[in-house]
Amino acid sequence: MKLTLLIMVSLFSASASAAIYKCTDTNGNTKYRSSPCESGRDNGRINIKTGDSTTDNKNNQQDLAQKEQQMALEKQKLEQEQVLKKQANINKDALNESAINQFLIKNNPDKFSVYAIPPYAPEKLPDLVKTYQTRLADIERLRRQAAQKALASGQCIRVESVELHSKSTKEALMFAINCSSGKSFYFNEQELPK
């Protein structure tokens, strides 16, 4: 009796630690086996003790591919948010520089026409300015400095307009200043104070 009980317990524990494999063939038929499925077939392993199951590499690869795709989308979204945040900061700095320009014009009407340095609205930029959109705050600051340099020359009595010039490059922005005396000036950013 003890021997029979001992044999049953050992058989039960041996079978309890074994796994059952769920195999699906090419026709979609499912079979349960005590040994692993043939390679190239869908394998699923069922743990008898816990009831958990694991799938073969094909399903794991699909899950991994989905996770990678989701991570790529999240990364792209994060990058877009960073670009938008950076552009918002650029626009904010540009608006601050424009406010300084308008303050200067308002307090010096004898030196600047009302439209000497019209602010560039970030959402309605002229095509030329849009090319250098990431430097919008610099453009506004340099326009003011170009106007002041023209006035300091003594040949410009009143500034009528200051605009970004079409000969600008990414390395050197250029500005055209028109004065009421009919004199025009052209300064690139290297000629203006930092």
Phi, psi values for residue 72, rounded to 5° = -65, -40
pLDDT tens per residue across span 35-88: 777 765 556 666 666 656 655 555 567 778 888 889 988 999 999 999 889 888
The pLDDT assigned to 127 comes to 93
In a domain, 135, yes or no: yes
Judgement on whether residues 46 and 78 belong to the same structural domain of the protein: no
The pLDDT assigned to 44 comes to 64
pLDDT tens per residue across span 138-153: 999 999 999 999 999 9
Whole-angstrom distance, CA of residue 187 vs CA of residue 139? 12
Whole-angstrom distance, CA of residue 86 vs CA of residue 92? 10
Judgement on whether residues 94 and 26 belong to the same structural domain of the protein: no
Distance, CA of 87 to chain centre: 10
Judgement on whether residues 29 and 79 belong to the same structural domain of the protein: no
pTM: 0.61
16 token code pair:
């309890």
Distance, CA of 56 to chain centre: 37
In a domain, 4, yes or no: no
- Given a contact cutoff of 8 angstroms between Cβ atoms, the answer to whether 168 and 139 are in contact is no
The pLDDT assigned to 33 comes to 74
Whole-angstrom distance, CA of residue 93 vs CA of residue 151? 25
Judgement on whether residues 157 and 137 belong to the same structural domain of the protein: yes
Whole-angstrom distance, CA of residue 11 vs CA of residue 65? 41
Whole-angstrom distance, CA of residue 136 vs CA of residue 120? 8
Judgement on whether residues 166 and 72 belong to the same structural domain of the protein: yes
Give me the domain span that covers residue 39. Answer: 18-55
The pLDDT assigned to 76 comes to 92
Residue 32 host element (H or E): strand 30-33
